[in-house]
Amino acid sequence: MSIDLHTHSHFSDGTMSPSELVALAKAKRLSAIALTDHDTMAGVEEAMAAGLALGIEIVPGIEISVSHQQIEYHILGYFADPEQPDFAAALLTMQEARNQRNSKILEKLKALGIAVSDEALQSISAQGQTGRPHIARLLVQSGVVTSISQAFDQFLKKGRPAFVTRFVHEAVAAVTLIRQAGGIAVLAHPSYNDPALIRLPTLLTELVPAGLEGIEAYYPTHSRAMRKKISALAHRYNLLLTGGSDYHGEVRPGTSLAGGGNVFVPPELLLKMKERWRQRRS
Ligand code: AMP
Ligand code: ZN
Ligand code: FE
Ligand code: FE
């Protein structure tokens, strides 16, 4: 029986509601899942209720986009308290930055002759965080492009005419904030933006002293060799290993929750995480 510690709902850029995700996890016979929406924990309550009803353990989580020496990384936070004042304020800052950026992107599109209204965007992203993936879906829906990747390639990615940067926290600051909120900070998919793991050792020498406690080792695109490299580093720094599918729903064809034919994530990883969390609290 697998678990899945990395999933997205429509509270960020996934397409399923938290309840639908939990029902899918039940159908796939997963014993536990974490909801890790981008920059928000707003879907956690619904996931918890669904988990209780269906007998699936739910781990409260979040995935925070951060920057370190101008490179973007993602930090997962588990069991953090979304109401801890500093953490809550930091999330609000990110959410406001997103809103400002979305308006700027729409303005740039308008200047390019593509009229997409804020109302249309809100209807695509009814809950939680709105980001470029929603704008991409809107561009597909309005027939401007034929796919989400075309929307990024032609308009939304860095260097393209509707690209706008957004504020993100420094990696060390995000780790500190998660820790202050009582959470466990984990580096997500370390191969992202660092495919040969060249920068990872140096990154760890800064993030571990700040309170990083784990690395995501089990991930759909990680080969066994990659997992071994990550495990060796984790061992050196006494870090937890985690894993998950990064499932976003049907928007990404061919993807699924963990287990079955997809990445298998051993339940022991969650037991070890909870043990560490309890020890810290006692
Ligand atoms: P945002 O957080 O609004 O900047 O959007 C970032 C998200 O957009 C990433 O997490 C990806 O899910 C998605 N994304 C980024 N680049 C691309 C791309 N070239 N094609 C499709 N999706 C992308
Ligand atoms: Zn995403
Ligand atoms: Fe990510
Ligand atoms: Fe993710």
Q: Please count the helices (runs of H) and the strands (runs of E) in the chain.
A: 10, 7
Return the pLDDT at 35: 98
Enumerate residue ranges in the chain where pLDDT < 70: none
Mutation pick for ligand 1 pocket among 104, 152, 167 (CB with most ligand atoms within 8 Å): 152
* Whole-number pLDDT of residue 128: 85
166: CA distance to ligand 1 center in Å? 13
Q: What is the pLDDT of residue 148?
A: 93
CB 190 within 8 A of CB 215: yes
Task: Show the domains of the chain with their CATH numbers.
Answer: 4-82+184-281 (3.20.20.140)
- pTM (two decimals): 0.95
Cα 1-253-91 angle, rounded to 5 deg: 75
- pLDDT, tens digit, 9 for 90 and up, residues 224-254: 999 999 999 999 999 999 999 999 998 888 8
- Least Cα distance to 216 among 181, 195, 246 occurs for 246
Residue minimizing CA distance to atom 4 of ligand 1 = 132
* Ligand 1 pocket, residue 131 CB under 6 Å: yes
Query: What is the sign, positive or negative, of the torsion defined by CA atoms of 192, 196, 201, 202?
Result: negative
